[in-house]
Structure 1
Amino acid sequence: MTTFSDDDLRCRLDSVLQTATSEGVVYIRRSDGREFVLRSVDRTRSPLDLGFVDVRPTREEVVQAVREGRERDYEPRRE
């Protein structure tokens, strides 16, 4: 657990961020005693990336889905 003062943060932001990246989290303590947590976030993957789902619908399933879509009653958009 690495703790920096708020003065350290002001003077050495790059070093504090690098420490958060390597350790995952750093703590920042203000002069009035309050503490804050700075956490590194890994954004290498999109939160929408769900991977591949192997679904192989039959011809009949595709035709049925298209027919159901065409038979739906759609309400016009109100703009």
Structure 2
Amino acid sequence: MKVYTYSEARQNLASVLEEARRDGAVRISRRDGQQFLLTPEVRAGSPLDVPGIELNLTVDEIVDFVREGRRGFGEA
């Protein structure tokens, strides 16, 4: 893991962030001995992101299914 001084990190922030993204983390060290670990945030996927399936249906077939479902919904 690469270690940067505070000044180096500040002067080269874009490349430091890119390195953290690419390598997983970088460490930034201050003169007083404090150290900070810079890591990229892991994005959680949306629960609505689901893989699609290929049904090989035409637009007309889909519209017919929707209309059929609406007709059946009103009947009890």
Sort the TM-score into its range (normalised by shorter chain).
0.5 to 0.7
Describe the SS at the equivalent of 1:8. helix
How many angstroms apart in 1 are the aligned matches of 2:11 and 2:28?
A: 13
How many angstroms apart in 2 are the aligned matches of 1:14 and 1:8?
A: 11
How many angstroms apart in 2 are the aligned matches of 1:51 and 1:10?
A: 37
- Give unmatched runs, 5+ long, in structure 1: 53-79
Identity %: 36
More helix by share: 2
Runs of 4+ in 1 over 4 A off after TM superposition: none
- Give unmatched runs, 5+ long, in structure 2: 51-76
Across the aligned residues of Structure 1 and Structure 2, the Cα RMSD in angstroms comes to 2.0
2:3 corresponds to 1:10: no
**Which whole-Å deviations, capped at 9, do the CAs of 1:24-66 have from their partners, x for residues lacking one?**
11110001111001101232613xx2877xxxxxxxxxxxxxx
Describe the SS at the equivalent of 1:28. strand
How many angstroms apart in 2 are the aligned matches of 1:2 and 1:50?
A: 37
How many angstroms apart in 2 are the aligned matches of 1:44 and 1:24?
A: 16
| TM-score, normalising length: structure 1 | 0.55
